[in-house]
């Protein structure tokens, strides 16, 4: 499944190739998607490459080829998680908590955090104080922290974090990722736990903490 921005960019590239035979520039992509910086375009291009929707043609400037197309229906934009707080429902015997399950969160490339109506039963002993929600992990960039693809991350809602904590970070108000949070000078650095991935650096205004990891649930 593509995020809204990934879908929009793929359609924009496809339509420009159909019309002009030349892929648009990064500046044109930034303007078309109303992004704040070209780094957002680079992230989207990389995500589309990872999912085999596009590929770069070697030895040619501005050379992108659309390999496949999804359906043209663009998914509705999801509201940020922090803007939809819910009370924490509990089972009658207080031994199991039904946490709101907000879809899949990327432990690799960022994807949109999808607001959903599903719930996940969680032993109350796994949770501390505060309001929590659950996210299904997608990707392998946190495997060295013991967080695997398909795990359920149990997240305590908060808008603050200390260096070294694993957080849900909302990037540019549209995409969310699960990473170690660190401050690096005037920048925010989001670190993976997999040596195959690189750290991601952002201006403070681009990143909003949506919660801290409080536990994991794994099904076998």
- Residues that are catalytic: 141, 179
Cα distances (angstroms) measured from residue 107 to each of 42, 69, 181, 190, 199? 18, 24, 13, 11, 12
CB atoms closer than 10 angstroms to residue 13: 23
Q: Rounded to an integer, what distance in angstroms lies between the CA atom of residue 131 and that of residue 156? A: 6
Helix (H) or strand (E) holding 145, with range, is: none
According to DSSP, residue 154 is labeled: E
Q: Rounded to an integer, what distance in angstroms lies between the CA atom of residue 180 and that of residue 150? A: 19
Q: Rounded to an integer, what distance in angstroms lies between the CA atom of residue 172 and that of residue 129? A: 29
């Amino acid at each position: 499944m593509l995020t809204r921005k990934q879908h929009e960019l793929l359609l924009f590239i496809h339509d420009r190739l159909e019309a002009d035979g030349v892929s648009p520039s990064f500046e044109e992509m930034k303007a078309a998607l109303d992004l704040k910086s070209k780094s957002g375009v680079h992230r989207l291009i990389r995500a589309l490459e990872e999912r085999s929707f596009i590929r770069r043609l070697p030895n040619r400037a501005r050379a992108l080829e659309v390999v496949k197309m999804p359906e043209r229906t663009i998914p509705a934009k999801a509201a940020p998680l922090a803007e939809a707080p819910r009370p924490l429902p509990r089972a009658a015997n207080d031994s199991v908590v039904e946490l709101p399950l907000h879809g899949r969160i990327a432990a690799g490339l960022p994807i949109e955090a999808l607001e959903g109506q599903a719930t996940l039963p969680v032993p109350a002993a796994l949770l501390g104080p505060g309001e929590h929600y659950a996210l299904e992990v997608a990707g392998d960039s946190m495997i060295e922290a013991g967080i695997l693809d398909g795990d359920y991350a149990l997240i305590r809602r908060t808008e603050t974090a200390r260096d070294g904590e694993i957080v849900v970070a909302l990037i540019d108000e549209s995409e969310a990722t699960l990473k170690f949070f660190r401050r690096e000078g005037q920048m925010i650095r989001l670190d993976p736990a997999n040596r195959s991935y690189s750290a991601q650096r952002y201006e403070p205004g681009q990143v909003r903490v949506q919660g801290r990891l409080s536990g994991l649930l794994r099904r076998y």
